[in-house]
Amino acid sequence: MKKGLILLSIVGIIACKKESVEPSADNCQRVAEEYTTVVNAWAADPTSKTKCEAVKKSLLNILNACSAYTVAERKRYEDELKQFTCD
């Protein structure tokens, strides 16, 4: 029984890690489309903190999914995004 629980936990951890956006052309296209959607929603309601946070998350997904950025560029953009507040 313990082996089954350990195996189930490991499978759960692996499944959670797969939720992150992997770099690929398909994922880059998908997250770019999602970004357009959330930016348009935020533009319609610029006082919404939730929509602002969605834009920030979407930008991070673009940085992670699109391989055109170097690690240093991604880090710089991520640092800049951390300073951007939705208050």
pTM for the model? 0.65
pLDDT digits (tens, 9 = 90+) for 73-84: 888 888 888 888
Compute the average pLDDT of residues 27-45.
92
The 3-class secondary structure across the chain, one letter per residue, is: CHHHHHHHHHHHHHHHHCCCCCCCHHHHHHHHHHHHHHHHHHHHCCCCHHHHHHHHHHHHHHHHHCCCCCHHHHHHHHHHHHHCCCC
The answer to whether residue 5 scores a pLDDT higher than 80 is: no
State residue 58's pLDDT score: 92
Q: Per-domain residue ranges for the chain? A: 22-83
State residue 6's pLDDT score: 38
